A and B are shown apart, each in its own frame.
Chain A
Amino acid sequence: MKITILNGNPDSENTGFDGYLFNLRTRLSEADNDVTELVLRDMDIQYCLGCFGCWIETPGECIVKDDSAMVCRQMINSDLVLCTSPIIMGFPSALLKKMLDKVIPLIHPYFVIDQGEYHHKARYKRYPLLGAIWEKSGNTDDRDIEIVNEIHSRTALNFKSRLAVTCTTDDSLKEVADEISRL
């Protein structure tokens, strides 16, 4: 399985989080997965401007030339994309959100009705499954994780996918790797 890990840790001194992902990546690679980790803090990703240029000027590509194009290419050619981040103020980092705002070139501007609601049409024939790995901070509680997972389930729905894995760094690497291998 081709797996992309979006590392949304904004703090290079938070070595515990990066170490967890390193060990997970190692374990998943040993199980014959093709794993790529993209460390978003080391990339040039600009905020989405909401201009819709990626839909109506250069369809399928952001008009701002930054590293989000490479991330989008990597994502759409994966089987599973793991969104990962420490939880800050009850939500994944602004760094990860900034990138997720920039995945809209991967869908089509046209609307369709899906599950009885307005959503956008698919641009690609297939989309990767989504997964989420969060690191709880001091004041993160179970309700925060529940809310964040609900929101990312919606993101998955808009991304023509489903949120197939949800865990926290409190879960053992073996449990997380096993859950991924069952997909």
Chain B
Amino acid sequence: MKLAAFNGSPKGKEGNTEIFIRQFAEGFQSVEGSTAVRYYLNRTAEHENFRDAFSKTDAVLLAFPLYTDSMPGLVKAFIETLEPLCGREGNPTICFLVQSGFPEGTHSRYVEKYLEKLASRLGCPYAGTIVKGNGGGITTQPPFIQRKIFAGVRELGRSFGGNEPFDQEELDKLASPERYPWWMVPIVAMRDVTFINLLYWAAALRKNGVYKKRSARPYVE
């Protein structure tokens, strides 16, 4: 089976979406006779060629980072080029991967509903949507956590390549926490949020010499 994996990150090969796609494709290709080709949607001038690739493949993964609660604009531009394929017989089986900077899976559930409807609009058999929170932090996770996450993504790739349904338990694990339970919220607010703000954002602002301007309001009239 042939997989076309579309990377919808504006950062292309340099982004975190690529890391997840590589794992998924590795799992997919572990099924005998399966191949995977990656396409980068930040090459917007090539969208029409990518549509041809979409129409000629057996299976599609469309993966992207969550941008203001849905797909990045360039992914929407690609989706618009797919309009002539709507309802065409023989459209590929499709699955999606949405990774977001927020830790909770819930942020990506709204666009997931759109993606399921998109599959139906195109007439593509829908295999599911992989939701991964804290995608932005994947490279800074301890190796043992990374290994667990990657094994989960590879397993989903393998089942997609083997024409098997996604394992719900695996999907849930990757999306966890869906939301923090009420009793954990104050702890998360005090501990995790403070930690990220100081160690990630404040450090980056300081490094760039703009910490004092961090709360600038340049557009106030």
Interchain CB contact under 8 A, A48 and B72: yes
List A contacts of B9 (CB < 8 A): 50
- The residue that B204 contacts in the complex, of A56, A112, A124, with Cβ under 8 A, is A56
List A contacts of B106 (CB < 8 A): 117
Convert B27-62 into 0s and 1s, putting 1 for each residue whose CB lies closer than 8 angstroms to a CB of A: 000000000000000101000000000000000000
Interface residues of B in 72-116 (CB under 8 A from A): 72-74, 76-77, 79-80, 82-83, 86, 102-104, 106-107, 110-111, 113-114
**Interface pick from B149-157, B161-169, B205-213:** B205-213
Most chain A Cβ neighbours within 10 Å, of B80, B83, B219, B220: B219
Interchain CB contact under 8 A, A139 and B121: yes
Interchain CB contact under 8 A, B73 and A97: yes
**Interface pick from B18-26, B124-132, B140-148, B178-186:** B178-186
Interchain CB contact under 8 A, A101 and B214: no
- The residue that B210 contacts in the complex, of A48, A58, A150, with Cβ under 8 A, is A58
Determine if A104 is an interface residue (Cβ-Cβ < 8 Å): yes
Pairs across A and B, CB under 8 Å, 12 listed = A47-B10, A50-B9, A57-B210, A89-B86, A97-B70, A99-B73, A117-B102, A123-B216, A123-B217, A139-B121, A147-B110, A151-B69
Determine if A183 is an interface residue (Cβ-Cβ < 8 Å): no
Convert A49-64 into 0s and 1s, putting 1 for each residue whose CB lies closer than 8 angstroms to a CB of B: 1111001111111000
Closest 3 A/B residue pairs (Cβ) = A98-B73, A94-B77, A94-B76
List B contacts of A91 (CB < 8 A): 70, 76, 79, 114
Determine if A73 is an interface residue (Cβ-Cβ < 8 Å): yes
What does DSSP make chain A's interface, helix, strand, loop or mixed? mixed
List B contacts of A58 (CB < 8 A): 210
| CA of A113 to CA of B65, assembled, Å | 21
- The residue that A47 contacts in the complex, of B68, B72, B103, B221, with Cβ under 8 A, is B72
List A contacts of B204 (CB < 8 A): 52, 56
Q: Kindly provide the distance from the CB of B189 to the nearest chain A CB, expressed in whole angstroms.
A: 4
Number of interchain pairs (Cβ within 8 Å): 163
Determine if B71 is an interface residue (Cβ-Cβ < 8 Å): yes
Interface residues in B, total, Cβ within 8 A: 57
List B contacts of A143 (CB < 8 A): 117
Convert A145-172 into 0s and 1s, putting 1 for each residue whose CB lies closer than 8 angstroms to a CB of B: 0011011101100100000000000000
| CA of A146 to CA of B82, assembled, Å | 22
Interchain CB contact under 8 A, A101 and B218: no
Chain A residues engaging chain B, CB cutoff 8 angstroms: 47-52, 55-61, 69, 72-73, 76-77, 88-91, 93-95, 97-101, 103-104, 106, 108-113, 116-119, 123-124, 139, 143-144, 147-148, 150-152, 154-155, 158
List B contacts of A72 (CB < 8 A): 219
Interchain CB contact under 8 A, A47 and B218: no
| CA of A73 to CA of B221, assembled, Å | 8
Q: Kindly provide the distance from the CB of B194 to the nearest chain A CB, expressed in whole angstroms.
A: 9
- The residue that A77 contacts in the complex, of B71, B180, B219, with Cβ under 8 A, is B219
Interchain CB contact under 8 A, A116 and B182: yes
- The residue that A108 contacts in the complex, of B42, B179, B196, B214, with Cβ under 8 A, is B214
Determine if B215 is an interface residue (Cβ-Cβ < 8 Å): yes
Given contact pairs A60-B218, A116-B180, A139-B86, enumerate 18 new A-B contacts (beta carbons under 8 Å). A47-B10, A50-B11, A56-B210, A59-B210, A72-B219, A73-B221, A77-B220, A89-B82, A89-B83, A91-B114, A97-B73, A108-B214, A116-B179, A117-B102, A124-B220, A143-B117, A147-B117, A151-B69
